[in-house]
Amino acid sequence: MSRYNVKETEARWQAEWDKRGCFAAREGGTKPKYYVLEMFPYPSGRIHMGHVRNYTLGDVVARYKRAKGFNVLHPMGWDAFGLPAENAAIQNKVHPAKWTRENIAAMRDQLKSMGLSYDWSREVATCEPDYYRHEQKMFLDFLKQGLVYRKESWVNWDPVENTVLANEQVIDGKGWRSGVAVEKRLLAQWFLKITAYAQDLLDELDRLDRWPERVRLMQENWIGRSEGLRLTFALEGRDQGVEIFTTRPDTLFGASFLAIAANHPLAQELARNDALLAAFVAECNRMGTSEEAIETAEKKGFDTGLKAIHPFIAGRTVPVYIANFVLMDYGTGAIFGCPAHDERDLEFARQYGLDVIAVVAPAGADPATFAIGDTPYLDDGRLIHSDFLNGLNVAQAKKAAIERIEQMGQGHRTVNWRLRDWGVSRQRYWGCPIPIIHCASCGIVPVPEKDLPVVLPEDVGFDKPGNPLDHHPSWKNVPCPTCGKPARRETDTFDTFFESSWYFARFCAPVEGQAFTKSAVDYWMPVDQYIGGIEHAILHLLYSRFFTRALKDCGYLSVREPFAGLLTQGMICHETYRGADGAWLFPTEVEKGADGRTVQTGSGQAVAVGRSEKMSKSKKNVVDPEGIIATYGADTARLFMLSDSPPERDLDWTEAGVEGAWRYINRLWRMASEPPQPIAAIGQPMPDLTPAGLALWRLTHKTIAGVTDDLDRFHFNKAVARIRELSNGLADLPPDTPGLGWLERNVLEVIVRLAGPMVPHLGEALWRELGHDDLLVDAAWPLPDPALLVDDTIVVAVQVNGKLRGELSLPLDVDKTIAEREALALANVQAAMAGKAPKRVIVVPNRIVNVVV
């Protein structure tokens, strides 16, 4: 018996594809182009199961489209700048560049062992100057185009480490390493005007019809367009008023306070002369910058003592608070509070004993008695207690209130966006230097294009806190390009989303001297199918959409949208294990004991098995793909990734599931290498077949049609199920079936071609075993014979009052009256009708007959 040798087979065909350059992409030709791209990985050191899933999905699409006759581009590279490299530098005393390059080399080998159909000649690493130099030029072009500006912005500041912290480095309001309370600090930073494209980014979402609905919704909410009113409240005893933004100008008569952000200029001003207030502002600033931290914190306010004058009610004033739930970045950093019709405002009002005045009541409610209890009234209704607005509905009242304010000259209708401009400055070393020089006399001076790239120096140390670029003597201090006097470089680097916002374009033509050639980008872009994790649903995808527009407006390329199709995969989960001492255990540290219970390997102690959760290092419920590939081969890992769950859902990694995939691969190999009858030669005419043989041949064509449809819709798990069904059908034929040799040849060839994109190494091996000299990767996708897709008889279900009572075998498209007559004649149907006459009979052709009595 010729046992399937995975190691040898996989290595052999990987070498063969490589030798022949099967996956090198070239522009042009008569075939339609197809660009399939998976999100490139951060080179953390080893691939994890999430990568295996992501890249398997992409590879199936790439190989399938190639077989279907497309000119496919399928590249891979490395998102190589980022925080983990710096953390490794500090913890392990290894330079980020060395660490990153070694990780890339290791991960490239791992990816190559998966047999992925990449055009490796296009590989890029974003940490190399020949990559990032182009984005420095882009930044300068954006600057010329008016898409870049500088402003002060708040960051998490660790006062001990003297450094800016990422949100993930802030744990319970404290620095992860120092353990001291994090402060907010203002720093001058660079911003890209993504808000200039807000309307366009929103409008175009509707046309991204091959994106998941939920991703589009998340982006829509993120962009957060809202129409409302900007209104300036005058303050008693002060010249300057406070400008607020509201989406509910209809509730102005219910206003009972104003609230401004702790970072609002007015709050800053007042805090200078008020120690208590300054302490409160400082407390707010310790909260962290994330929206989650702000929204979940207890609502707190500080009464400034100032009174704001109500625009509509003569003599009415409301107190002005500084509140921890008002965001400086949204609207004007100030709101008016109407507790009756807003949840946060109500909570705040109850806490500080402020008025709750209902100004909208449900239709039919009595204005005299309608009152707000524990919950605000948020629905539409009729305006009450609101002077000229009384009796209007919410929409009418908004319009009327805005018009009145505009007449008074105190404000105007406006569109507000939740979307904020993209802050791209990072106070970090391991990133792309921002090509700017600060000169005492000339101010901000862009690095001249002839001086690009600004290369990130590698001779730095990590022993001092803060950004190493700040302590670098020669790199930081340079003459001003304009006046020649001593100046200093910008020491901030770009957000790493910068690199990932255009890498898809670079892949089209990773040439020297320019970011990409326009002709190549115009040929390949947009990406036809982009595949990656749902965790990138907003930021990366939105930044890339913005960046593509900005590049277009600077003349780099011709498309507006980078990704025409998007598939977001679910996460990989695994059971969790804890030993007797409560410590997490790796799956490799546990085994099934003799009694079927899970025990710790070696000690034999009982292990508590927890539910399946997202694989994470902290819970140790991770499985290393390298071990799986070494034991079972890449095809097994790939097949399991595809067969058990639809791609967008989470996938449970189980040893049993892997075993199942492994068994199936060996089963297919045996079917070809040890067939019950000799396999017929290539090209033999179809012999006379038995009814069972003919049914299998029909099933073969239905499988071609079904798998094709499944792959087009990314239903890979169903495609695998169909292929298994077909191979079960072939195996179920008795060994003496006439014409079996012909069926083996023709059914197996279909199975091999359909399964080829999923298990490419096995596919090539079987293709050769079946006597072909060419490669399966060059074979065309099979086409079904339409005549074999329809059956002449159909089994139709018969119901009485919606309950299944029997089945009927009927000719295809039989006349309704015949179906009805046959259904009523069934003994079981008669029994269920209990002698009653049918009131109505519903006949759905070729599907169901329902008798209603």
Partner RNA sequence: GCCCCAGUGGCGGAAUGGUAGACGCGGCAGACUCAAAAUCUGUUGACCGCAAGGUCGUGUUGGUUCGAGUCCGACCUGGGGCACCA
Taking the least distance from each CB to RNA, the nearer of 23 and 563 is: 563
Q: Is 654 in the site for RNA (CB under 7 A)?
A: yes
Taking the least distance from each CB to RNA, the nearer of 466 and 660 is: 660
Scan residues 264-293 and list those touching RNA (CB under 7 A).
Answer: 289-292
Q: Report CA-CA distances (Å) from 659 to 49, 182, 435, 632.
A: 16, 49, 54, 9
Q: What is the residue type of 689?
A: L
Scan residues 818-837 and list those touching RNA (CB under 7 A).
Answer: 828, 832
Scan residues 175-204 and list those touching RNA (CB under 7 A).
Answer: 187, 189
Q: Report CA-CA distances (Å) from 324 to 156, 296, 334, 376.
A: 16, 11, 11, 20
Q: Which of these ranges, 68-76, 91-99, 696-704, 790-798, lies near RNA under the rule CB under 7 A?
A: 790-798
Min. distance of Cβ 636 from RNA in angstroms?
Answer: 12
What is Dmax (Cα atoms) for the chain?
106
Closest CA to 781 of 47, 67, 59: 67
Alpha-carbon distance 78 to 507, whole Å? 11
Q: Are 590 and 620 in contact (CB under 8 A)?
A: no
Q: Which of 45, 173, 423, 784 binds RNA (CB under 7 A)?
A: 423
Scan residues 399-418 and list those touching RNA (CB under 7 A).
Answer: 418
Q: Which of 238, 464, 597, 663 binds RNA (CB under 7 A)?
A: 663
Q: Is 155 in the site for RNA (CB under 7 A)?
A: yes
Which pair of tokens denotes residue 250?
């209809």
230, β-bridge pairs: 245, 412
Min. distance of Cβ 314 from RNA in angstroms?
Answer: 35
Q: Give the number of other Cβ atoms within 10 Å of residue 367's Cβ.
A: 15
Min. distance of Cβ 711 from RNA in angstroms?
Answer: 13
Q: Is 594 in the site for RNA (CB under 7 A)?
A: no
Binding string to RNA for residues 23 to 42, with x set by CB under 7 A, is what?
A: -------------------x
Q: Is 296 in the site for RNA (CB under 7 A)?
A: yes
Q: Give the number of other Cβ atoms within 10 Å of residue 265's Cβ.
A: 13
Closest CA to 280 of 271, 272, 289, 288: 271
Min. distance of Cβ 663 from RNA in angstroms?
Answer: 4
Q: Is 82 in the site for RNA (CB under 7 A)?
A: yes
Q: Which of these ranges, 137-145, 754-762, 776-784, 800-808, lies near RNA under the rule CB under 7 A?
A: 800-808
Angle of helix 655-673 relative to helix 760-769, nearest 10 degrees? 10
Q: Is 793 in the site for RNA (CB under 7 A)?
A: no
Q: Is 156 in the site for RNA (CB under 7 A)?
A: yes
Question: Which residue spans within 649-737 are E strands per DSSP?
Answer: 651-652
Question: Which residue spans within 50-182 are E strands per DSSP?
Answer: 71-73, 148-158, 163-165, 170-171, 174-175
Alpha-carbon distance 281 to 297, whole Å? 15
Taking the least distance from each CB to RNA, the nearer of 72 and 205 is: 205
Min. distance of Cβ 165 from RNA in angstroms?
Answer: 6
Min. distance of Cβ 39 from RNA in angstroms?
Answer: 8
Q: Which of these ranges, 139-147, 242-250, 408-416, 656-664, lies near RNA under the rule CB under 7 A?
A: 656-664
Min. distance of Cβ 531 from RNA in angstroms?
Answer: 14
Min. distance of Cβ 617 from RNA in angstroms?
Answer: 12
Binding string to RNA for residues 329 to 368, with x set by CB under 7 A, is what?
A: --------------xx------------------------
585 CB contacts (<8 Å, ≥6 apart)? 577, 578, 579, 600, 607, 620
Q: Residues binding RNA: what is the number (CB under 7 A)?
A: 100
Does a cis peptide bond (omega within 30 degrees of 0) precede residue 526? yes
Q: Which of 22, 400, 692, 797 binds RNA (CB under 7 A)?
A: 797
Q: Which of 110, 500, 529, 621 binds RNA (CB under 7 A)?
A: 500
493 CB contacts (<8 Å, ≥6 apart)? 81, 425, 426, 428, 429, 430, 431, 432, 433, 434, 456, 469
Scan residues 715-734 and list those touching RNA (CB under 7 A).
Answer: 715, 717-718, 720-721, 724-725, 728, 731-732
Scan residues 439-468 and list those touching RNA (CB under 7 A).
Answer: none
Q: How many CA atoms lie within 13 A of 622 on its CB side?
A: 15
